[in-house]
């Protein structure tokens, strides 16, 4: 036979865990003061610990007042998770609409005693409404964390959102159990405390992992970028080869004409400036066309973009050829040669298309440069 779990013991476990995570977040924030989202998350854990103390000992208010304040503090701790995530994303942490779930939670926990003062069931109704509003608040927070980001979201962010959502069935179950058997136990507190033993650690560990995951993602991304121009490098091209080797794609193999002369005449700093300016303009065009731009090395680049047919591919190549403009960039004059090729249906990867583009580029150079060959 299983006995009813001990609510004070469960509350103490949640209190100690929340306090420990609050200390961890605050220590991390003390070492990285610019990462203010850690302050939000630390405050969230600290406020939740305060709510647990208040539920146990009260706030010196009437029972319905203690209930309203306690539910409001719990809602605040949830909203601080959202505000920290918004701050982490560089957005305004506390938009005005975040006051709505907080106010709704406190009003829901206050309204029944205000409407029916002294009635025995009024306090129970206020607790039920308060728990329902807390579930709604967690739903809002999870939606705010993942809004428009599900596909691109990191694993820790998804875990944070899913953990908040996992509390909602518990609130619904606790409400049903409390209505069904109101005299057996305080299910409105018991079920969430049971959930805390599993979900509280998952939530805070995911929050701790969120900045680490972003740093790792940034490190992986930097490994795929050319250090000078910021466009993709050969490693990125190899990594994405399978998705780029589609028959609808055209390859523009680009070489800056007589680039050594640019370096020798104007200096290597001017040569670097030419590469950076050229790459920036073609990168913008690549993004506009739904393609990618890669620096293969030195002054050699490749633009891979979808084109409807050969005529569209040639039109794109001519557009690229006229991109170098010393009037616009204020840099030394230069021209480019382009070898054009299309990905064939029987190409296993990009190597054959690149080889065809390279032969076309050789013809463009042999024919006098500053032209497109296909």
Instruction: Compute the distance between CA of residue 233 and CA of residue 297 in angstroms, rounded to an integer.
Output: 8
Q: In 3-state terms, what secondary structure has residue 342?
A: strand
Q: Is 1 part of any domain?
A: no
Q: What tokens appear for 313 in the block?
A: 């591919």
Please check whether residues 158 and 186 belong to one and the same domain.
yes
Q: Is 128 part of any domain?
A: yes
Please check whether residues 214 and 241 belong to one and the same domain.
no
| pLDDT for 170 beyond 70 | yes
pLDDT for 25 equals 97
- Express as a percent the part of the chain with pLDDT over 90: 59
Instruction: Compute the distance between CA of residue 324 and CA of residue 340 in angstroms, rounded to an integer.
Output: 18
Centre a 10 Å sphere on the Cβ of residue 106 and count the other Cβ atoms it contains. 21
Centre a 10 Å sphere on the Cβ of residue 110 and count the other Cβ atoms it contains. 20
> Average pLDDT in the 284-291 region?
92
223, 247, 280 - which closes a domain: 223
Task: State pLDDT tens for residues 109-155.
Answer: 777 665 555 565 666 777 788 888 999 999 999 999 998 777 778 89
Residue with tokens 């944070």: 160
Instruction: Compute the distance between CA of residue 305 and CA of residue 252 in angstroms, rounded to an integer.
Output: 9
Please check whether residues 211 and 294 belong to one and the same domain.
no
Please check whether residues 23 and 136 belong to one and the same domain.
yes
> Average pLDDT in the 187-193 region?
81
CATH of the domain at 207: 1.20.1070
Q: Is 106 part of any domain?
A: yes
| pLDDT band at residue 105 using 50, 70 and 90 as cut-offs | confident
| pLDDT band at residue 177 using 50, 70 and 90 as cut-offs | confident
Q: Is 174 part of any domain?
A: yes
Please check whether residues 213 and 266 belong to one and the same domain.
no
* Count of alpha carbons within 13 angstroms of residue 254, beta-carbon side: 29
Task: State pLDDT tens for residues 60-104.
Answer: 887 778 888 888 999 999 999 999 999 999 999 999 999 999 998
pLDDT for 1 equals 47
| pLDDT for 7 beyond 80 | yes
Please check whether residues 181 and 201 belong to one and the same domain.
yes
Please check whether residues 178 and 55 belong to one and the same domain.
yes
195, 223, 251 - which closes a domain: 223
Q: Which domain holds residue 344?
A: 234-373
Highest mean pLDDT among 24-28, 123-127, 216-220: 24-28
| pLDDT for 178 beyond 70 | yes
Q: Is 101 part of any domain?
A: yes
| pLDDT for 210 beyond 60 | yes
Indicate the number of domains in the chain. Answer: 2
199, 223, 247 - which closes a domain: 223
Long-range Cβ contacts of 38-42 (<8 Å, 24+ apart) = 38/84, 39/84, 40/80, 40/81, 40/83, 40/84, 40/87, 40/93, 41/80, 41/81, 41/84, 41/204, 41/207
Q: Is 2 part of any domain?
A: no
């Amino acid at each position: 036979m299983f006995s009813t779990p001990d609510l004070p013991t469960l509350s103490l476990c949640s209190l100690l865990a929340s306090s420990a995570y609050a200390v961890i977040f605050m220590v991390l924030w003390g070492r990285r003061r610019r990462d203010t989202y850690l302050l939000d998350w630390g405050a969230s854990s600290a406020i939740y610990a305060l709510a647990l103390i208040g539920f146990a000992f009260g706030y010196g208010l009437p029972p319905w007042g203690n209930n309203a304040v306690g539910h409001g503090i719990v809602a605040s701790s949830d909203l601080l998770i959202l505000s920290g995530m918004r701050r982490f994303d560089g957005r305004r942490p506390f938009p005005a609409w975040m006051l709505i779930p907080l106010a709704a939670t406190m009003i829901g926990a206050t309204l029944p005693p205000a409407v029916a003062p002294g009635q025995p069931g009024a306090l129970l109704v206020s607790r039920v409404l308060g728990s329902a509003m807390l579930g709604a608040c967690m739903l809002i927070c999870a939606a705010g964390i993942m809004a428009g980001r599900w596909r691109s979201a990191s694993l820790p962010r998804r875990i944070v959102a899913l953990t908040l959502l996992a509390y909602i069935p518990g609130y619904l179950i606790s409400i049903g159990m409390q209505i069904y058997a109101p005299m057996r136990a305080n299910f409105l507190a018991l079920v969430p405390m049971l959930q805390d033993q599993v979900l509280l650690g998952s939530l805070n560990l995911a929050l701790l992992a969120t900045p680490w995951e972003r740093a790792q993602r940034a490190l992986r991304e930097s490994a795929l970028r050319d250090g000078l121009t910021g466009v993709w490098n050969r490693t990125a091209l190899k990594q994405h080869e399978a998705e780029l080797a589609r028959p609808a794609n055209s390859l523009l193999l680009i070489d800056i004409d007589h680039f050594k002369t640019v370096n020798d005449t104007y200096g290597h700093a001017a040569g670097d400036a030419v590469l950076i300016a050229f790459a920036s303009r073609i990168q913008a065009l690549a993004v506009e066309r739904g393609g990618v731009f890669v620096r293969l090395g030195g002054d050699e680049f490749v633009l891979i973009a979808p084109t409807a047919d050969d005529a569209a591919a040639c039109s794109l190549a001519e557009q690229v050829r006229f991109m170098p403009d010393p009037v616009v960039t204020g840099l030394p004059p230069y021209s480019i040669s382009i070898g054009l090729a299309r990905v064939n249906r029987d190409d296993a990867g990009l190597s054959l298309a690149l080889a065809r583009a390279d032969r076309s580029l050789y013809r463009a150079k042999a024919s006098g440069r500053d032209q497109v060959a296909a």
